[in-house]
Amino acid sequence: MYGCEVSPDLTFKRGFEQNAYDGHDYIALDTETYTWTASVPEAVNTKRKWEAERSIMEGEKVYPEEECVQWVHKYLEIGKEALKRIESLEMPLTFASRPPLLSEGPTLPPMGR
């Protein structure tokens, strides 16, 4: 799983990348220091290899800081009209601690009689 978080002015705030294997966390990238954290002992060799390979680390910076932010801009532009419609809707907000009991339809006699 990977992506980015942008500021209200749509500039890069932070990125994230987490990898899993067989349903379990495997390795994650710290995008502040651009170092990997192995979640399991089996990921230590991957961590060492990826951190030693400069081209891999440079590539890891490009996606969250540039490409992901560009995609956020693009998706917001595509959905701009829909977002404006949602923003203009006025919907009442209600909260009930328990649902009301309604009796609609025929009443059945108790079982076992």
Q: Which of 16-25, 38-47, 67-76, 77-86 has the highest mean pLDDT?
A: 38-47
45-64: average pLDDT: 88
Q: What is the pLDDT of residues 81-95, one digit of tens each?
A: 887 777 666 655 544
**pTM greater than 0.85 (yes/no):** no
Q: Which of 5-14, 43-52, 89-98 has the lowest mean pLDDT?
A: 89-98
Residue 96 lies in a domain: no
CA gap 31, 15 in Å, rounded = 6
Number of domains in the chain: 1
For residue 15, the enclosing domain spans: 2-83
CA distances from 1 to 10, 39, 90, 113 (A): 21, 15, 35, 58
SS3 category, 13: strand
Residue 112 lies in a domain: no
Q: What is the CATH number of the domain that holds 66?
A: 3.30.500.10
Closest by CA position to 35, among listed 14, 51, 53, 46: 51
Closest by CA position to 38, among listed 24, 23, 25, 54: 25
Cross-sheet strand order for the sheet of 12-21: 2-6, 12-21, 24-30, 35-38
66-92: average pLDDT: 81
13-27: average pLDDT: 92
